Every structure is written in C-alpha cells, then in structure tokens.
Structure 1
Amino acid sequence: MGETPLLIWAVSDGRAGMENQVMGLAEAVARLTPAYIERKRIAIRAPFDRLPRMLMGPSLSRLSADSDSLDPPWPDLWIGCGRRVVPLSIEMKRHVPMVVQTQDPRARLGGFDLVIPPEHDELKGDNVFPILGSPNRLEENRLRTEAGMLIEDLGLDEDQRYAAVLIGGDSKDYQMTGPVTTLMLEALAAAEDEGYRLLITPSRRTPEFVKHHLREALPDAWIWDGEPVGRVVNPYFGMLGVAERFYVTGESANMLTDAAFTGKPIHMLPLEGGAPKWQRFHQALEDRNILKPHCGPDDQWTYEPLRETDRAAAEILRRMGR
C-alpha cells in the first residue's frame, strides 16, 4: 500500500506574486508524493484589514464574507505567504501537523514549523530553510507545452531566435527613471541587431511612459497587452519556454529566478536605486554563473538550471518524515 495522499492548503491573499509561491511549492510537493491541493484566498474584513499585523488579533474570526473558508477537516500541510496570512499560519499551528510560511514572516519563528525565506534576507534559525529567490510554479513540461501553444497562436517562426524581456517597475528600493529606460532600450535594440525577436511582458508596476517608449523604440517587438493570447490566458510560461535569452529588470527576485529555471543566459536590466539585500541577491546569481555583468547579446554561457522550489519541497517532506 502506498502512502495516504496529503491534503495541502496553499494560502495567500490572492495576489499573483504571493499565490504563485504557495501554489508552486504545493505543486512541487505533489510531484514528489501523492497529494491534493486546495488553493485558499483569504481576506480580512474591515476595519481589521487596515491594522498592522501585530495588532490584528485572532484572524480566523475576522475573515470577510468574500474570503475562502478555513474550516475542518484541517490539511496535513499548510503553506502560507504574505503578511495577512502570518497570523492565520500561527493560529493554524494548533490544528495542522506542518505549517510552512514563505518569505520572512517578521514574527517569532517558533510560530511556524518551517520558514522558507530568500537567502538575501539572511534569516537564520533551526526551522529556517533559505532558498535563492522565491518558490515558483515552473515545471519543464508546462513550459514546453505553453511554448508550443504560444508559437502556434502567435504564428511565430520556429527557426527565429527569441529573447524574452521581463519588465517590472518601481519598488521600495528601485525606480524606473528616464535615464535607466534609455539604457534598457539600448540593450534591447542591441539584441535585435544580433538577430533576436523580442517578446516583451510589462508588469502592473511598469510606468506608462516606459510602455510608450518600448512601443515607439521597438516597433518590431511583440509586447503583451494583458489580453489572453489564443488558448493561453497569460503568455509568461510560454515565453520562458520559447526564449533562448532573457532580459530582466533587477528589482524582481521572482522574475530573475524564473528565468534562471531555464539555464539560459540572463541580462539584468539596471534600475535606479538598490539596497544591500539586493546586492547580495545579485551577487549570489553571479556566483552561480547565472548573471554575467557586462556581457553582450552575442555572448553565450551556461549554468545549472535553478531548481530551488523542488529543493524546498523535498525539505518539507523530509521534515514531515515522508
């Protein structure tokens, strides 16, 4: 007889960056052992949703009407992400055999069975398992399948070389200014000169003036407008599968580590600003040969594809004795 399938709750506030982490980690666990995954999107009702996390109090009793329910039967494994989920994770430790929180919870570490933060946060503890970047939902078969659909639905030439351009925007530590936008456009134009067709996806944080300059300066590039592309709601995974080279803005650990999943060359597009933790993160990517500063669009290099989500999933199961 095989092991009884795990019931996993993947819990976030529903924002894409948070949900991708919990779903990606849950899916990675399910690739290693039989499991059922339930996605939970939580919301806290007013006025408690405006309180700082430390003042929020018991959160199970303060879920709003549009929140997914958190009722028994309890899962075997709870995976949470985001500051609104932290109090729930701490409460759930009374009911759930294994409570995992991604990112730095900024709370007492003893409230969780396992914390999975990015290495550059330098969080330490017996129940801390740092990874380079953050968990993601990448899987080789999915990239291959969605790449095929993207090629077919966009009518792409399979003999053409493609570069995926993943553009973020302003954050707490970085700003997308006019001067760095000029540098970005110069780097992308050089890639086109080298024979690459650009597939560009801006994010919700990308300033409108940057999108305007991309359209004006790179008329031959394909730029995603946010609408479904044929059979694919979001072409992101297909772009990762199609591209032979990546250009990624440096403020997004998610996008940089997603690109590193492929083992293909990555050029980091500079932004204004920075912080020590980001310097540590970028240096870690350089140390693994993932990023190579000052390289041009004709330089080729390889590295071991990044598989940190699978490594974290194996650690969860090890601690669960599975």
Structure 2
Amino acid sequence: MEVGSTSPLSIQVVSDGRIGMENQALGLAEALQRLSPSSNISVRRVKWRKAFDRLPSALKAPWMLDPSSDRVFPATGEPWPDVWIATGRATLPLSLMARRRSGGRTFVVQTQDPRWRTGDFDLVVAPRHDRVEGANVLSITGSPHRVTPERLAEGAKAFADRLEALPRPRLAVLIGGKSRAHDLPEAHAAELAEQIAAAIAAAGGSLMLTFSRRTPEAAKAAMTARLSRWPGWIWDGTGANPYFAFLHHADHVLVTEDSANMAAEAASTGKPVHILPMVALKAGDKFDRLHADLRAREAARPFDGTLEGWSYEPLAETERAAREVLDRMGRR
C-alpha cells in the first residue's frame, strides 16, 4: 500500500477508555484516515475484571474482561479490521491475540512502551524518551495525538466570542499535577503564578489557563487567586473543554514539565513552548530526555519569566507514524 493511498481502511482503536490514553491511539487512527480518505474508525474500550487485572499479559484470556468492556474481536463471519491500534497495559494481551487470531490479516500497532517483546507486534510507536528499541519500533518525539491546525480551528469556534477579544500576547497555560516524577505543592504553584503574572504584566497580554485532573486543589487555589485579576479565562472544569481553543488562540504556550502529551501537542502548533518547572521527585527522569529532544528541535525552552518569541517547524510526528504504518503495510 502506497503512502497517501486512497484505499479506505477499517481501523480499530482499543484502550482502557482513559482520555489521555485513548487519544494517542485515536490520533494515530485519524492521521491514517487523513492519508486514506473514507477509512472508518471504530473505538473499543476494555477493562479487566478486578480479580484478573494484575495477571501477566500472557495469562489473560478474553473471558476475564469485565462485562462493561466492548467486544474487540469480530464475530464468526465478520471481517477483521485492516489496522488495530491499541495503547496501554490493559490492551497488550488483546493486541497479541488479534495478531495471532487474524492470521496476519490485521496490522497490529501498539503505542507507548509495551514493556514486552516488540517483535510480537507489527509496529510499536514509542516515545523517543522511553528508549524502546527493536526492528519493529518507530521512535517519535512525544506521543501520537489528535492536535491538527484544522481541529484547533474547529474547536475554537465555540469560544471565539470569549477569546478573540483578549489582548495579545495570549498565553495558553497548561498545568499538570502530581505524578511519580513531579509534584506541584501550593508554595511552588504560587511562585509559578507570580512569574506568569509578571510576564503578563510586562507584555500587556492575557491568560488562558487550564488545569489537569491531577492538579492538587491547593495548587489550583493558589494559582487562581494570583492570576484571576488578569484579562483572560481560568477554566474551572465546568462546561465544554476549551483546550483546543486555547491552543488555537495562543501566541505562547506554557506547559508544566510533567506532561509529555501536552508538551508534544503544544509543539505541533509551531508556537513558542515554554516549559514550567515543577518539584522533581526523582532525578534523570525520562521527561528530561523529552525536553532535551524538544529543545534540540527548537520547539521548547525553559520558562525564564519573559515572553520572547521564536519560530520552528511544527512537529508532525503523528503524521510521520501514520505514514510508517502505511509503508510497512505495503511492504508486508
């Protein structure tokens, strides 16, 4: 199959349903759909029964899935999908079964580091900072995602009245939270907010801020208290999510260093990406490697309190991964 083929594909996306995970596989599926118009995408969400969730992948069987799970394998007589794209630990045994049961009919792609023999999949699309190696591995900067200029523009329409009138430069501020590698205690959040406020004041700009589900409540409160007096919008999590609209309208993107997904998505816009420091819980983390990769591509720099602009070629890693899928399918 040639890259950019117009032959439609049936593409099945499989995840545990968590948005951040599902969007990686769905983003790659949508990139394939753009290269092969008229392709159809189906989304399946799975969950293992609690008693079997921690079993090694090699020991799991479909009957162990929770009844709330979607059916992932075709019924007798139904065709297998052309492409299976899965992400996350919960999907690993199912991906292995799909490759075997389809008899090679289905091209099986696993995103992220599967922590499994990479040769058991047709392709593993893994973040470069995870250092996954193998003949079947494509390393990319960050993870696949759904951000495209067209999707951002479409997502911005619903919020145009609120955002287009904001003074420039507009800062999209994307705040993460506590993880195994980073923390955002109240005092540090307050310090970040003061630095952001000073940058807004110096530039005469405005703020578009969104928090993660992982952001501690104390950190939210500290940042909101210090930034709410400035022009803009601090989204409180109610109503439609303006995340795409924030990226579309931003002149600068500030993102905390704990999120590989948000950093990669921001870098796909071609806008200056400023990395906000957090409290590190362990040194030499993979996020350090990601940020070094983004700096090498001139997409991101550490936030120094100023809003210096720069330009770079927007990252198009999801599209690159989709082309690799089509190329390998054609050579198989």
Corresponding position of 1:181: 189
Contact 2:164 2:249 in 1 (8 A): no
Corresponding position of 1:45: 49
Q: CA, structure 1 residues 310+100, in 2 after alignment: closer, same or farther (shift >3 Å)?
A: same
Query: SS at 2:300's partner residue?
Result: coil
**CA deviation after TM superposition for structure 1 residue 250, in Å:** 0.2
Alpha-carbon distance in 2 for matches of 1:285, 1:160: 25
Deviates more, 1:58-67 or 1:251-260: 58-67
Give 1:267's match in structure 2, choosing from 274, 293, 299. Answer: 274
Contact 1:53 1:84 in 2 (8 A): no
Alpha-carbon distance in 1 for matches of 2:51, 2:84: 26
Alpha-carbon distance in 1 for matches of 2:301, 2:88: 32
Q: CA, structure 1 residues 84+300, in 2 after alignment: closer, same or farther (shift >3 Å)?
A: same
Corresponding position of 1:117: 126
Corresponding position of 1:311: 320
Give 2:13's match in structure 1, choosing from 6, 10, 28. Answer: 10
Query: Which aligned pairs between 1:35-184 and structure 2 lie closer than 5 A?
Result: 35-49=39-53, 51-54=54-57, 57-72=59-74, 73-94=79-100, 95=102, 96-152=105-161, 154=162, 156-157=164-165, 160-184=168-192
**CA deviation after TM superposition for structure 1 residue 185, in Å:** 1.0
Unaligned segments of structure 2, at least 5 residues: none
**Partner AA of 1:111 in structure 2:** D
Contact 1:42 1:68 in 2 (8 A): yes
Alpha-carbon distance in 2 for matches of 1:163, 1:234: 17
Alpha-carbon distance in 1 for matches of 2:89, 2:56: 7
**CA deviation after TM superposition for structure 1 residue 297, in Å:** 2.9
User: What is the number of residues matched between the two proteins?
Assistant: 314
Corresponding position of 2:302: 293
**CA deviation after TM superposition for structure 1 residue 247, in Å:** 0.9
Task: Give the alignment's TM-score, normalised by structure 1.
Answer: 0.92
**CA deviation after TM superposition for structure 1 residue 292, in Å:** 2.4
Query: SS at 2:293's partner residue?
Result: helix
**CA deviation after TM superposition for structure 1 residue 289, in Å:** 1.1
Deviates more, 1:88-97 or 1:198-207: 88-97
1:227 aligns with 2:238: yes
Query: Which aligned pairs between 1:187-202 and structure 2 lie closer than 5 A?
Result: 187-193=195-201, 194-202=203-211
Identity of aligned pairs, percent? 45
Query: For each residue in 1:286-313, what CA deviation from the matched residue of structure 2 results, as whole angstroms up to 9, or x when unmatched?
Result: 1111122354433111111011000000
Alpha-carbon distance in 2 for matches of 1:4, 1:60: 32
Alpha-carbon distance in 2 for matches of 1:214, 1:3: 49
Q: CA, structure 1 residues 279+148, in 2 after alignment: closer, same or farther (shift >3 Å)?
A: same
Contact 1:151 1:158 in 2 (8 A): no
Task: Give the alignment's TM-score, normalised by structure 2.
Answer: 0.90
CA RMSD of aligned residues (A): 1.8
Alpha-carbon distance in 2 for matches of 1:84, 1:286: 33
